[in-house]
């Protein structure tokens, strides 16, 4: 449903569905029930100022009956945010698409404590593109190629490509060169298939019994000696993530044929090759402040598809390098 309020400061207005019935006589009564414990005066002030609107952009007041609107829209009061010390770079921009290199630690879209400090909001404000919408997502800790639609008129043509799995993605990661103890040796290239699930109430994705719904092809590209200080994550000779001086590491190419949450991290961990600096897999570590010197060693290297506007095959490649692999080069 289209918001009657425009994007403001790079952020969409919040939509709230009002209940059809209940002990509330007015829309404001319901808002007080939901959020009055946080800022009751602010809610009253917004209704008085006409800053809360219903369908068609009609301003609501304190007396607007609950049943008069199904949805209402309003702008949240955003807390101040400290700018993350990472930067986006633009790889391509035209009338339909914006392609960027997203850095580690920056989320794709607003969520939780990251609103202004998301790739979407930063780019909307930086480029004055309020209609910008991501075509897919990268985890906050994953860096690399990220596509946005700049044109609402052609957006659907690109969305269909993703829905029909007509977009090929390529990732790279750095992990141990050999599986952790207790895991069998791997003959590369290998295809990992299993059934994954993730609920909203649980932080991690899980592998469960059943028909496979996740598939990744994994190829080892090169091996090298690691020499970085120990960091959080799921690799290392003892399987804990510690990178010892001289430990053999490897750079891998990952080609997902499906797009489950945390799929690549789970599939690498299932081989005993958890990705360097992964705080989730194979073991969930205690939450700690972001360590910008030890990013997750996972990069969305490239993406390719047949452009639905030009009919020509296109490919976009990241210019970023994984720090552990770059450190090993002369």
What pLDDT tens digit does each residue of the chain (330 aa) get? 789 999 999 999 999 999 998 999 999 999 999 989 988 999 999 999 999 999 999 999 999 999 999 999 999 888 899 999 999 999 999 999 999 999 999 999 998 889 999 999 999 999 999 999 999 999 999 999 999 999 999 999 999 999 999 999 999 999 999 999 999 999 999 999 999 998 777 789 989 999 999 999 999 999 999 864 433 334 443 344 455 556 899 999 999 999 999 999 999 999 999 999 999 999 999 888 999 999 999 999 999 999 999 999 999 999 999 999 998 877
The C-alpha atoms of residue 206 and residue 198 are separated, in whole angstroms, by 6
Residue 246 is predicted with a pLDDT of: 64
Claim: this prediction has a pTM higher than 0.75: yes
Closest CA to 54 of 36, 67, 43, 45: 67
Residue 243 is predicted with a pLDDT of: 59
Residue 258 is predicted with a pLDDT of: 94
DSSP state for residue 92 in the 8-state scheme: E
Q: Looking at beta carbons, which pairs linking 316-319 to residues 24 or more positions away fall under 8 Å?
A: 316/91, 316/92, 316/99, 316/145, 316/147, 317/91, 317/145, 318/91, 318/101, 318/143, 318/144, 318/145, 319/89, 319/91, 319/101
Summarize pLDDT for 135-144 with one digit per residue, the tens: 999 999 999 9
Q: In angstroms, what CA-CA distances link 316 with 39, 93, 97, 156, 310? A: 46, 11, 11, 20, 15
């Amino acid at each position: 449903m289209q918001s009657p309020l425009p994007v403001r400061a790079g952020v969409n207005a919040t939509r709230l569905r009002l209940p059809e019935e209940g002990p509330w006589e007015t829309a404001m009564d319901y808002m007080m029930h939901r959020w009055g414990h946080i800022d009751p005066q602010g809610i009253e002030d917004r209704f008085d100022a006409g800053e809360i609107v219903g369908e068609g952009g009609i301003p609501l007041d304190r007396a607007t009956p609950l049943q008069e609107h199904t949805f209402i829209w309003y702008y949240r009061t955003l807390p101040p945010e400290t700018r993350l010390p990472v930067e986006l770079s633009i790889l391509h921009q035209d009338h339909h698409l914006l392609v960027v290199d997203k850095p580690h630690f920056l989320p794709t879209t607003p969520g939780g404590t990251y609103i202004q400090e998301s790739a979407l909001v930063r780019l909307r404000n930086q480029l004055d593109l309020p209609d910008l919408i991501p075509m897919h997502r990268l985890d906050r800790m994953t860096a690399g190629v990220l596509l946005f639609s700049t044109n609402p008129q052609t957006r659907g043509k690109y969305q269909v490509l993703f829905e029909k799995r007509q977009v090929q993605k390529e990732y790279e990661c750095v992990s141990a060169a050999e599986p952790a103890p207790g895991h069998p040796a791997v003959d590369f290239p290998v295809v990992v298939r299993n059934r994954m699930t993730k609920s909203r109430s649980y932080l991690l994705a899980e592998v469960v019994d059943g028909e496979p719904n996740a598939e990744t092809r994994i190829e080892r590209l090169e091996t090298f000696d690691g020499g970085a200080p120990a960091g959080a994550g799921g690799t290392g000779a003892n399987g804990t993530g510690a990178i010892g001086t001289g430990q053999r590491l490897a750079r891998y190419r990952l080609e997902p044929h499906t797009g489950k949450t945390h799929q690549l991290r789970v599939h690498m961990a299932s081989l005993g090759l958890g990705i360097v600096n992964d705080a989730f897999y194979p073991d969930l570590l205690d939450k700690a402040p972001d360590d910008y010197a030890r990013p997750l060693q996972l990069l969305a290297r490239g993406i390719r598809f047949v452009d639905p506007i030009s009919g020509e095959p296109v490919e976009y490649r990241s210019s970023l390098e994984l720090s552990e692999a770059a450190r090993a080069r002369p």
